[in-house]
Amino acid sequence: MSKLKGILLTEGMHGMLSQVEGLAKALDIDFTHHMVELKSLWSLIPPKFTPISQNVYKKINYLDFDIIISCGRKSIIPSIHLKSISNKKVFNIHIQDPKINFDYFDFIVAPEHDGISGSNIINTKGAIHYLTNKEINDSKDYLFNKIEKNKKLVKVKDEIRSIKSDSDNNEIVLKSGDKIYSSLIIGVDGANSKIRKIQNIKTKDHGIKKFGLVAIMEHETSHPNVSWQVFSETGILALLAKDIKPNKRAVSSLIWSLDKKQIDAIRNLPSKDFEKKVKEEFGSSLGDLHLISKINEWPIFRIDVPNPTGTRTVLLGDAAHSIYPLAGQGFNLAIGDILQITDTMLWAKERGLDLGSRVVLNKYVNNRKFWVNSVTKMTDSIDWFFSNTSNNSQNTFGSLLSVSNNFQPIKQQLVEIMKEN
């Protein structure tokens, strides 16, 4: 029996692609991606006020599909319209609350915190994605093994002493005296980047915003590989899921952002009082909480890098943008940097361009800066809000970050429906 065919509709953002592709993989269907584009002013109008018509979006010529999986506001009308004009039975599934009549879709997959329910609603613990636990485990040593096997990749255990860059090459002088030559340096050495300093890439340092208090907590109630983030008057508190050990209670990493006075007072509490304080802030969702490690702290920096490139050099991750820690957005930005620089280098290679040339580096910056700036402003705004408003004006909410792949109920329902039709 041949596989069902699917069309995945998104606005092209990686988070959306991850969700639609994750569902498509879980359903074991063949699929193709299409980035939807709404015409003129329709992109500014909510879907519930938008006509279901081809005139709303740029035409999609691919019509050989059995399932439509959409994610994002702009994909809603195209999904509904494509189903309505199909000459065969087509099922459409939308991910996230569409904020439109649910009956337009056969299924809606939405996280529990969206607060929607219905006969065609399937709730998940958090955002779905295309990574399975097996893929994550299989990839733990991927980069190391790739370096070991690929003769073109060289692993150097040494420190950089200096870098000389010109229009043709980089000369990297190591502490041992050895030299390495490359057409492009990619700096991924963190917020205190040495490469950034050596290459004289300018920064805007906002200084130490707050301090992060870190500890390991054991808790009574098991977490289904879900991480929590709570916003309160004292600061932002996160419990990040760690592996559940056999015959033992669940364990999470505590990260709590506080100002210096708060962190000194809380860190010096006796263990029982500390546990009580964490539970007061976090709530009882995970039952009793017990401290099972030392309490550490580290400064939270905010550093902007207006242009993360230098002569034959590009910075990625925290070296390029050290933002306020919020719901893993710093990690997400780093992953986005990697995807963008990879796309840019492939683009350059196809055209025979020098990877370290200013043309290539400018293309990377131009394609990346909007998203980096948007996420930075968002995290800064949330930090400002919770630092400058009273507890009465704040809405405490949890951010669930699922690292599980719980799609089986969806697959079973769709397979049964397909058999009946």
Per-residue pLDDT tens digits for 208-255: 778 888 999 888 777 666 777 787 777 788 888 776 555 566 888 888
* 337 pLDDT more than 50: yes
- Residue 15, classed as helix, strand or coil, is helix
Tell me the CA distances in angstroms from 123 to 47, 118, 252, 418, one per residue in order: 22, 10, 24, 21
Q: Look at the chain and count its residues.
A: 421
Question: Per mean pLDDT, which range of 40-49, 236-245, 370-379, 410-419 is the poorest?
Answer: 410-419
Residue type, 374: S
Given this model, what pLDDT does residue 210 score? 82
With a pLDDT cut of 70, the percent of the chain lying above it is 85
Given this model, what pLDDT does residue 415 score? 47
Answer whether 323's CB lies under 8 Å from 329's CB: yes
Helices 358-388, 329-350: axis angle to 10 degrees equals 170
Instruction: Give 46-111 as a DSSP string.
Output: -GGGS--SGGGB--------SEEEEESGGGHHHHHHHHHH-SS--EEEEES--SS-GGG-SEEEEE
Given this model, what pLDDT does residue 406 score? 41
Answer whether 61's CB lies under 8 Å from 7's CB: no
Q: How far apart are CA 237 and CA 234, in angstroms?
A: 9
Q: Where does residue 301 rank: exposed (0-12), middle (13-18), buried (19+ CB within 10 A)?
A: middle
Q: In the chain, what are the domains?
A: 5-130+407-420 (3.40.50), 141-182 (no CATH), 206-301 (3.30.9.10)
Per-residue pLDDT tens digits for 149-187: 776 667 788 899 999 998 889 999 999 999 999 999 999
Given this model, what pLDDT does residue 37 score? 92
pTM value is 0.60
179-182 and 170-174 beta bridge pairing: antiparallel
* 309 pLDDT more than 80: yes
Given this model, what pLDDT does residue 223 score? 66
Q: What is the 3-state secondary structure (H, E, C) of 119-173?
A: CCEEEECCCCCCCCHHHHHHCCCHHHHHHHHCCCCCCCCCCEEEEEECCCCEEEE
Given this model, what pLDDT does residue 151 score? 63
Beta-strand runs (E) in 175-284:
179-182, 185-187, 204-219, 226-231, 236-241, 250-258
Given this model, what pLDDT does residue 185 score? 94
* 102 pLDDT more than 80: yes
* 70 pLDDT more than 60: yes
Q: How far apart are CA 235 and CA 262, in angstroms?
A: 9
* 368 pLDDT more than 70: yes
CA-wise closest residue to 371 among 334, 401, 342, 399: 334
